[in-house]
A and B are shown apart, each in its own frame.
Chain A
Amino acid sequence: MKVILRHLLLLMMFLAGSAQAALTIEITQGVKGAMPIAIVPFSWEGPMTQAPLDVSRLVTENLYRSGRFSPLPEHDMLAKPNDPSRVNFQNWRVLGVENLVIGKVRATANNQYIVQFVLFDVFRSTQITGQTFNVSKTTDLRKTAHQVSDIIYEALLGERGAFDTRIAYVTQSSDASGKPRYSLQVADADGHGPQAILNSREPLMSPSWSPDGKKLAYVTFEGGRPSIYTQDVRLGKREKISGFRGINGAPAWSPDGTRLALVLSKGGNPDIYVMNLLNKKLTRLTRSYAIDTEPVWTPKGDAIVFTSDRGGKPQLYKVSLAGRQVQRLTFEGEYNARATLSPDGRMVAMVHGNGSRYRIAVMDLENGALQVLTDTSLDESPSFAPNGSMIIYATESQNRGVLSAVSVDGRVRQRLVLQEGDAREPVWAPYSK
C-alpha cells in the first residue's frame, strides 16, 4: 500500500513536472465580432488646403459598414502617424487596436495623385501589406479608396472585399408634369455615383445581373405588357428575351451565364421556367396551381430556389434542375419570399413576414436556423454582396423607398445615400470579370 502510494506520488510529481514544462490551455471559443482597427487620417500634400476626397474616411466608413470592423474613432487616437517610422505600436496596443492603417495622399500633377497606405499588425509589430496607387483623375480617388478598403478587408479577413463593386436598383420619381418616371440605376456599392442606364415612363422591375457583371436583365412594361430584356450596362445595348402572354417576370441569370430563369404564366399559373439564352429554348421547372415566382440560382447552378404559395402562404422552395424535385425550405413564419443566396450557397436571405412586419432574415440552409437582421417593417428585395458579407435591401423611410445594407450578422445597418426618388429592388453586382 505504502509502495503504491509512493509510486503514485512519484507519478503525480512526474505529471506535475511534465505539466510544468508547458501548461496546456485549450481555447474552444472566441468572440464573434468586429475586428478593432485604426485608420489614421491620411496626410495630404497638394496645392489645395484639403484633398478633393478624404480617402481614409471613406475607407473607414467602408470597413465599418461591412460589419466586420470596428474602426477606432479619430478622437481616441493617441497619435496620428503617417510614416511607418513614426508608428509606436504600444500606443495602439493599449487601445486594443489589432490593426493599424496609415497613409498619404499627394497631388503630383494636375488632377493626378499618389495614394499610399500601409497596414500593420499592431501586436506583432509587423507590416501586413501596403500599396501605392497612381490615380489619374480626381473622380477615381473614390474607386481608389474602395480598392484600399478591399485590400485591407481581404488581408485581414481572408476573403475578397466587396467595396469596389456596384449595385443596380430601380428608382421611381415624378417629372415636372407629375407623371411617373422609372429609372434603372447603377451605382457604387455605397450608393455613390448612380447612373441611370434606362429611363422609362412605364414601370421597370426585377433587375438581375449577369454573372460577369456586364449585363442586366429586367422586366419592363413598355408597350403596356410585361416583357424581359437584357441590357449591356456599359454599352446600353438591349435585347428582348421574353414577351409571352401573361406574366413575364423575375428574370435570374444562371451562374454560368448561359441561362435565364424566369416566371411565365403562359401555362396558366405563374411557374418557373429556364430559358437557354443561346437558343431561347424554354424548360418548365414547376407545374402547380399555386403561384411560383422569384427564382434564384444556387451557386452551383443545379437548383433553383423560389417563392410559392402552394402551401397556402408564400414560402421558399427549392427545385432541382435534374429531377425537378421540389423541397420546402422555410417553415418559420407565415411569409417567406424573395430569396437571395449567399455566394457560398450556405445561406438564404429573404423577406420574412410575421404579422404586419416584413423584415430581412437569413437562414442557415444546413441547420434551418433563421435570424432576423433588420428592425424595420417594410423591407424587401434582399441581395447578397458578392463576398456574402452584407445584404443590400430596400425599405421605406418616411414614405419613401430607400436602400439599406446590413451585415450578415445583423450588427451593422446603414442607409445608402441616394439623390432622388423612391429606390426599390436593389441587386448587388457580382465581381467584374
Chain B
Amino acid sequence: MVNSPRFLFYSILVHVLFVSLIVMSLDWKSKPTPVPHVIKATMVDESKIKEEMEKLRLADEKKEQLAAAQQKKLDDAKAARQQEEKKIAELKKKQEAERRKLQQEERKRIDAEKQRKAEEKKREDLRKKQVAEEKRLKQQKQEQLKKLKAEEARLEKQMRREEAQRIKQAEARKKEQERERIRQEEARIRQQQMAEEQRRLDAAREREYQGVVDKHVEIIRQKVSRNWLSPAGSMAGLVCTVRVRIIPGGEVLDVQVVKSSGNALFDRSVETAVFKASPLPLPADRALFDRFRVLEFIFDPED
C-alpha cells in the first residue's frame, strides 16, 4: 500500500478533468465565464454532477417514445397515397399512347415539310452561292482591274517621279550652270570694276602728279625768271630755247642751246639764268623726277 496516496491523487485529477469538461460543454453557448470561475469549478461537488446526468438520461428516453408514434402515423398515410398514385399512372399511360401516335404523325408531316424546305433552301443556297461567286468573280475582276490600275498609276507615278527627278536634276544642273555663269560674270565685272577703279586711281594720281608737276613748273619758271637778267635794250623777236639736264637734287648738270636767238648775249643771259636758278625746285616725290630730268626752256620775252 505504498501507492495508495498517488492513486488517490490520480483519481481526483481524472475526476476534476471530467467534470471540468462537462462544465465547459454545458456552458458552451453561454458566455464564457471568467477564468476565476473555472478554477472555482474544480471545487464542484461530485454529487451534483451525478444528479445532472440522471436528468439528461430521462429526457432522452421520452424523446424516443414520441418519435416512434410519429413514425407509425406517417407510414399509414404513405400506403394510401401509393394506392391513389397507381390508378393515376394507369390513366396516364393510356393518354400517353394516344398522344404518342398523334405526335408521330405530326412528326412525319413536319419531316416532309422539313425536307421540302431543305431542298428549297438548298436550291436557294446554290443560287446564292452562284450569285456570290459571280459577285466574287466580279469583285475579283474589279480588284484585279483596280490593282492593274494602281500598278499603272504607280508606274506612271514612278515615271513621273523619275521624270520630275530628271527635270529637277536638269534644272539643278541648269541652275548650277546659271550660278556658275553669274559667278563668272560677277567675277568678270568685279575684275573690270577693279581695273576701272585702278584706272580711276591712276588717273587721279596722274591728275595729282600733274598738279604737282604744274606747280613745280611754275615755281621753276618763277625762279628762272627771277634769275634771268634780261639784256637791256630791244629784245624784239629774240627767242632762245635751251635744253637743260638736271640731277635728282635739282642741280643743273648742263645747259645746251638747242635753238639760238642769233644774239650771243641773249643766249648767254639765258644760259646764265638757268645756271643761276640751280638747284631747280623739284617735287619732293622722287617718282616725279623723271619728268624733270630734261627740261626745255623757251625764253621768249614779251617785250
| Contacting pair A30 B225 (CB below 8 A) | yes
Residues of B within 8 A of A156 (CB): 265
Q: How many residues of A contact B (CB 8 A)?
A: 32
**A35–B231 Cα gap in the complex (Å)?**
9
Q: Say yes or no: A25-B291 contact (C-beta < 8 A), given A31-B229, A123-B275.
A: no
Q: Contacts of A158 on B, CB cut-off 8 Å?
A: 231, 263-265
Q: Which residues of B contact A23 (CB under 8 A)?
A: 213, 217, 291-292, 294-296
Q: Which of B273-287 contact A (CB under 8 A)?
A: 273, 275-276
A272, B28: Cα distance in complex, Å: 207
Instruction: Report B-chain residues with C-beta under 8 Å of the C-beta of A93.
Output: 275-276
Shortest B3–chain A CB gap in Å is 157
Interface on chain A toward B: helix, strand, loop, or mixed SS? mixed
Closest residue of chain B to A123, judged by CB? B275
Instruction: Determine whether the beta carbon of A30 is less than 8 Å from that of B269.
Output: yes
Cα separation A156 to B231 with both chains bound (whole Å):
9
Contacts of B213 in A (CB 8 A): 23
B residues less than 8 Å from A33 (CB atoms): 229
Cα A19 to Cα B227 in complex, Å, equals: 24
Cβ contacts A79-118/B at 8 Å (1 or 0 each): 0000000000000010010100000000000000000000
Contacts of A21 in B (CB 8 A): 294
Q: What total of A-B pairs shows CB separation below 8 Å?
A: 104
Q: Which residues of A contact B275 (CB under 8 A)?
A: 93, 123-124
Q: Tell me if B199 is interfacial: C-beta within 8 Å of chain A.
A: yes
Partner of A25, one of B210, B224, B229: B224
The answer to whether B230 and A26 touch across the interface, beta carbons within 8 angstroms, is no
Min CB distance A132 to B, Å, is 23
Are B302 and A29 in contact, with the CB atoms below 8 A? yes
Given known pairs A20-B290, A98-B276, A123-B276, the reply for A30 and B271 (CB within 8 Å) is no
> With a CB–CB cut-off of 8 A, which chain A residues contact B272?
98, 121, 123-124
Most chain B CB inside 10 Å of its own CB: which residue of A21, A30, A31, A36: A30
Which of A16, A27, A32, A157 is in CB contact (< 8 Å) with B300? Answer: A27
Question: Closest B-chain residue to A2, C-beta based?
Answer: B196
Q: Is the Cβ of A98 less than 8 Å from the Cβ of B229? A: yes
Tell me if A30 and B230 are in contact (CB < 8 A): yes
Chain A positions within 8 Å of B301 at CB level: 27-30
| Distance of A371 from chain B, by nearest CB (Å) | 14
Residue A24 at the chain B interface, CB threshold 8 Å = yes
A9 within 8 A of partner (CB): yes
Residue of A whose beta carbon sits closest to that of B274: A123
Q: A3 interface residue, CB < 8 Å from B?
A: no
Please measure, in the bound complex, the distance between the C-alpha atom of A19 and the C-alpha atom of B217, giving whole angstroms. 12
Residue B226 interfacial (CB < 8 Å): yes
Contacts of A96 in B (CB 8 A): 276
| A176 within 8 A of partner (CB) | no
Kindly state the separation between the CA atoms of A9 and B203 in the bound complex, as whole angstroms: 8
CB pair B206–A12 under 8 Å, yes or no, is yes
- Taking the closest CB of chain A, its distance from the CB of B217, in whole angstroms, is 6
Bound-complex Cα distance A160 to B232 (A): 13
A-B pairs with beta carbons under 8 Å apart, 7 shown: A16-B206, A25-B297, A27-B273, A27-B300, A30-B225, A98-B272, A124-B272
6 more contacts with CB within 8 A, not counting A20-B290, A29-B230, are A12-B206, A16-B206, A21-B294, A22-B296, A30-B299, A123-B271
